Amino acid sequence: MLDLLNAAEAQLSQVGPIIADVLASDLAWPFTLIRFGQPGVPVRALLGEEEDRSSVGPEIDAPEVASRTFTALLPPLEAARTLGWMLTDAAGRVFVPVAAPLDPGRRGFCLVARVAPLPERTRVHDLVFQVPSAGTVIQPGTGNQVPAPSTPFPIQARLSATTDPRIRDSVGADAADLVLIGRWGSLTAPAAHPPSLRWGLKAPLTLQGQAGTLTLKLAYPDEDLATEAQFGGRFVASWSTP
């Protein structure tokens, strides 16, 4: 057993410099590694598509477009050792880890991570909330003190409808209201909940050609901190027409 372990140790020592050379060569692809709330870091990595051995297909009345996972070979960056990062390439494709990265033999010469491509079909909404301003201003023509006008606050969000009766009841939605679960920011630029956006604020939102109003209702935090860091703060909102 000791001889086997010594042999494995010797092989790792030989492989380490080779992997480092490969990652620094043109064989590796250029990516940008981005952590939530931090600037991107240029990195070279190797991606290998994994074989799809699944025999499970989508339901006939709910077809889906699936994507295979990849194995990513990365340099030993501290920013990539824990979940909460994404890789983007020059074509705009985005890959995220679906499991904690591994450090083979804990030798620190590379990281191995299983990653999956993010859907490139995700709809992002541009919202503009009117945030109340503090203090008062002089009204032109009358000289009266009036509340300061609201300040426009533009922000992006991803929204998906839910029919979960527990969530609908929690926000007191009427039968005609559409209840939405949202995440702040886009897939490539997720964001935390902006402190200036209070619950109850409204923003115009057009869905399928119908003008309506989005109302912020409740925070909906993830139990998994890595999920929230990866995809942005989650919230519940309602949408209604005039």
- Give residue limits of the domains in the chain: 11-52+64-117, 125-133+147-240
**Whole-angstrom Cα distance, residue 197 to residue 189?**
18
pLDDT band at 1 (very low <50, low <70, confident <90, very high): very low
**Residue 4 token pair:** 């086997």
CA gyration radius, the chain: 24
Read out DSSP for 107-124? -SS-EEEEEEEPPTT---
The letter for the amino acid at 154 is P
Q: Could you report the per-residue pLDDT of 26-43, keeping only the tens digit for each? A: 888 899 998 876 788 999
CA angle 219, 225, 231 (to 5 degrees): 70
Assign 59 to helix, strand or coil: coil
pLDDT of res. 2: 47
Which band of pLDDT confidence, cut at 50, 70 and 90, is reported for residue 175? confident
Evaluate if pTM is beyond 0.85. no
